[in-house]
Amino acid sequence: MEINNESQIPIFMQVADALRDAIFTGAFGEDTQIPSTTEISIAYRINPATVLKGMNLLVEEQLIAKRRGVGMFVSIGARERIKEMRYSEFSKNYIKPLVLEARKLELTDEQIAALIKKEMKTDDTKSE
Amino acid sequence: MMLKAPFRKAALNNLFAVAIFYSFIVLFMIVLPLLAKVIPSWNIHMNVNGGYESFSMIFMFVLGLTCVKDNLKACAVFGRSRNTALITGIMALGTVAAVLAVLDSVFTPVTSIITGGFSSSGLMNMIYNMIPEKPFSYFGTYLVWRLCLYCGITMLGFLLSSINYRLPKVWRLVFWIGFGLLLLVGIPLSVDNMAIATVLARFLDFAIASSPWRFDVTMVVCSAIAAVLAWLIQRRAPVDRS
Amino acid sequence: MTLSLNKITKTFGEVKALNNVSLEFTEPMIYGLLGRNGAGKTTLLNIINGRIFPDSGEVLMDGIPVADRDELLSKMHLMGEVNYYDDDLKLKDAIKTADGFYGEAFIVAEAHRYAKLFELDETKKIGKLSTGYKSIFKCCIALALDVPFVFFDEPVLGLDANHRDLFYKLLIEDYSRKPKVIVLSTHLIEEASPIIEKFVIIKQGRILLEKSAESLAQYASSVTGPKEKVEQAVSGCQILGRSFIGALETAYIVGKLSGTCDGLTVQNIDAQRLFIELTNTDKEASL
């Protein structure tokens, strides 16, 4: 994960994204403790208050929960929930911009579908 | 006020300088006359009268000149006020004055015994015609007299240095040239003038030469005045950038 | 504990270095003090720490004037640009001196640890250090202090990228362990801004802006597009500055665009860009 100061996305959102990503990829396993605010803020050279704000987003989403006197733990089922969240936003984040750009380029529906198919094929061969 | 740390620092700095200075002086004052005795062909007539005091006076003057800035800087960087810097600076100088007064009071008679010169001789018996019968006679009087002398001298240096510290660069030059002129031209000229010379002589007679105790009082008063003036100067002085 | 500046004015000859500045440092937080060269940052920090004195106004700690009070002055430390340490003092002796002055508030072991991390040779004399290493050493002392107010004036001046990174790391580590008011005065806004919680921007001896990082991010935005369209869109907005590439214009405005923004790119602007637009002189802005 890399924090980008110049990004349009506020730093606390970037922190939240990075944490979600870490849970989703399994780096932070369910029912395990995640690094403390201090650890994260030192690692990325960002203010602890900013990190806390990012973490609180995940608490609100019930992806992580505080255990008194111990620290933050990844909730059971968090990974599945992130998957659902990402799925529901997939259309908005990826398909909509694609369609918008395609319309600007005056591509037909068939052309778009063909392009997607082609990309999927090259990706398959790469992963093999 | 939190005086301990700045005082400790200033005093240790000063005492370190004293140690170096005094080793040289003792070597010079004892070894040279002894050598002169052993090797008569040198034909040096060593007179150690007032020797320790003269050196100590110069040393105290220079120490007073140099200690202002260091102390202010240390206090500025480590969270102490101007008042603390000034008080601890003066305290540290007083400590050195006391140390030197004791050393001189001991070493003057000791040196004269070793080198076989006059029994205890120094500036005081030159001024007041106090001829000691034994090497250590007038010890207490002498000790206090020296202490007051060194305090007065060092506070003069302290005051001059404070003025120098506060003045802009160009004015510093003017100030020191002016001070030099006063010493080299002003005083001889005023001595030539009968009226001024009489007043001056009367004052010196009264305040310094009449008795050692009166001299002590004069020195203490002068030191106090210098300290107050230095305080007025340093109280709101910016800490020097250089 | 609250440290407040009450209507501070300071002139140097003809120049008004600070003009009626009032400011408060209350909660433990990392503040960023930003300003261009000669804006008055160093003067401000020097006055707070009693190195120089204001013409009028005063510095108060919990309502009590700081000047002439050791017990209050020793609750602050300024890591300044100018070296006030004795040049012929060895680093380890300077650490001892700091310990003597600050007592329990100075953690000697920490100072040694920091010196080691920065690969300082403690047997060296301060005067023999390069400018960068002098800054580093002063930072080591400041970081090892557990006083409620610590000020850094250009701490990373002359430090290479690795040492700067290490400094920021240690600063956050220190701050997380012992929360306190930390004021960071720096020109390297971009790399320091993720650390800063509250920005104080000073211009020509006056406080121009005092905002949390959050509200600063919302404070201004840029609008980019064809010149006529941009001008039309931003009319009525408070404009901080404009830049042109041919007919393509970027206008920096306070707040967000209220009207339509069809065909225009609207973006947030970061602290550095905002700082530049706020503190540009007319001459620089016209270039």
Contacts of C84 in chain B (CB under 8 A): 73-74, 76-77, 239
Residue C94 structural domain: 3-204
Contacts of A37 in chain C (CB under 8 A): 176
Structure tokens at C100: 């003597």
Q: What is the mean pLDDT of residues B32-54?
A: 68
CB–CB of C176 and A5 under 8 A? Answer: no
Angle, alpha carbons C278-C7-C154 (nearest 5°): 50
In a domain, C213, yes or no: no
- Give pLDDT, residue C117: 96
Q: Quick check: B119 pLDDT over 50?
A: no
pLDDT digits (tens, 9 = 90+) for C149-165: 999 999 998 899 999 99
Backbone φ, ψ for residue C231 (5° rounding): -60, -40
- Give pLDDT, residue B169: 83
In a domain, C95, yes or no: yes
CB–CB of C84 and B74 under 8 A? Answer: yes
Mutate to test the interface with C, among B4, B81, B165, B170 (most CBs of C within 10 A): B81
pLDDT band at A126 (very low <50, low <70, confident <90, very high): low
In a domain, C70, yes or no: yes
- What whole-number distance in Å separates Cα of residue B68 and Cα of residue C153? 25
pLDDT digits (tens, 9 = 90+) for B59-95: 999 999 988 888 889 999 999 999 999 999 999 999 9
* C32 vs B31: which has the higher pLDDT: C32
- Give pLDDT, residue B132: 66
- What whole-number distance in Å separates Cα of residue C130 and Cα of residue B77? 20
- What whole-number distance in Å separates Cα of residue C23 and Cα of residue C59? 10
Share of chain C above pLDDT 90, in %: 65
Range 27-56 of C in CB contact (< 8 A) with B: 46, 49-53
CATH code (residue C272)? 3.30.70
Long-range contacts of C274-281 (CB under 8 A, 24+ apart): C274/C216, C274/C219, C274/C220, C274/C240, C275/C34, C275/C189, C275/C201, C277/C220, C277/C240, C277/C241, C277/C252, C278/C201, C278/C203, C278/C208, C278/C209, C278/C240, C279/C35, C279/C36, C279/C39, C279/C201, C279/C203, C279/C208, C280/C241
pLDDT digits (tens, 9 = 90+) for A16-65: 999 999 999 999 999 999 999 999 999 989 999 999 999 999 999 999 99
Domain stop point among C169, C204, C239: C204
pLDDT digits (tens, 9 = 90+) for B122-147: 677 777 777 666 666 778 888 999 99
Task: Flag whether A touches C (3+ CB pairs, 8 A cutoff).
Answer: yes
Same domain, C128 and C263: no
- Give pLDDT, residue B125: 73
Q: What is the mean pLDDT of residues C190-214?
A: 92
Q: What is the mean pLDDT of residues A96-114?
A: 89
Q: How distant, in Å, are the alpha carbons of A41, A128, C122, C172 from that of C169?
A: 8, 42, 22, 5
- Interface contact C266, partner A, CB < 8 A: no
Domain stop point among C204, C239, C263: C204
CB–CB of A6 and C190 under 8 A? Answer: yes
- What whole-number distance in Å separates Cα of residue B83 and Cα of residue B71? 11
- What residues form DSSP beta bridges with C9? C56
Mutate to test the interface with A, among C30, C168, C176 (most CBs of A within 10 A): C176
Which partners does chain B have (≥3 C-beta pairs < 8 Å)?
A: C
In a domain, C90, yes or no: yes
In a domain, C178, yes or no: yes
Angle, alpha carbons C270-C273-C279 (nearest 5°): 130
- What whole-number distance in Å separates Cα of residue B98 and Cα of residue B105? 10
Share of chain B above pLDDT 70, in %: 88
Same domain, C55 and C24: yes
Total domains present in chain C: 2
Q: What is the mean pLDDT of residues B177-206?
A: 83
Q: What is the mean pLDDT of residues B206-219?
A: 86
- State the burial class of residue B108 (Cβ atoms within 10 Å of its Cβ: 0-12, 13-18, 19+): buried
Same domain, C17 and C92: yes
User: Residue C119: left (phi > 0), alpha (psi -120 to 50), or beta?
Assistant: left
Structure tokens at B173: 């030059």
Same domain, C17 and C156: yes
In a domain, C56, yes or no: yes
Pick the residue from chain C with its C-alpha nearest to B6. Answer: C101
Same domain, C14 and C117: yes
Q: What is the mean pLDDT of residues B19-37?
A: 82
pLDDT digits (tens, 9 = 90+) for C6-54: 999 999 988 899 999 999 999 899 999 999 998 999 999 999 999 999 9
Tell me if residue C287 falls in helix, strand or coil: coil
Q: What is the mean pLDDT of residues C267-273?
A: 85
CB–CB of C173 and A3 under 8 A? Answer: no
Same domain, C90 and C33: yes
- Give pLDDT, residue B196: 79
CA torsion through residues B197, B199, B204, B210, sign: positive
- Could you identify the residue written with the tokens 């305040």? B207
- Give pLDDT, residue B110: 82
Please report the ipTM that was assigned to this predicted complex. Answer: 0.84
- Give pLDDT, residue C287: 62
Query: How many beta-carbon pairs under 8 angstroms link A with C?
Result: 49
- Cβ partners under 8 Å of residue B76, min gap 6: B85, B239, C49, C50, C51, C84
In a domain, C138, yes or no: yes
Contacts of C193 in chain A (CB under 8 A): 5
- Interface contact B17, partner C, CB < 8 A: no
**DSSP at B42:** G
Task: Flag whether A touches B (3+ CB pairs, 8 A cutoff).
Answer: no
In a domain, C48, yes or no: yes
B34's enclosing H/E stretch is helix B32-38
CB–CB of C172 and A48 under 8 A? Answer: yes
Backbone φ, ψ for residue C110 (5° rounding): -65, -45
Provide the CA B46 distance to its chain's centre, in angstroms: 23
Q: How far is B130 from chain C (nearest CA, A)?
A: 45
The letter for the amino acid at C58 is E
pLDDT band at B241 (very low <50, low <70, confident <90, very high): low
Same domain, C124 and C41: yes
Same domain, C183 and C225: no
pLDDT band at B44 (very low <50, low <70, confident <90, very high): low
Q: How far is C232 from chain A (nearest CA, A)?
A: 24
- Interface contact B231, partner C, CB < 8 A: no
Same domain, C64 and C38: yes
| Distance between first and last Cα of chain A | 26
Same domain, C140 and C88: yes
CATH code (residue C178)? 3.40.50.300
Q: Quick check: A14 pLDDT over 80?
A: yes
Same domain, C198 and C85: yes
Pick the residue from chain C with its C-alpha nearest to A4. Answer: C194
Range 92-131 of C in CB contact (< 8 A) with B: 97-98, 100-103
Complete domains list, chain A, with CATH:
11-76 (1.10.10.10), 90-127 (no CATH)
Q: Quick check: C69 pLDDT over 50?
A: yes
Same domain, C197 and C232: no
Contacts of A11 in chain C (CB under 8 A): 194
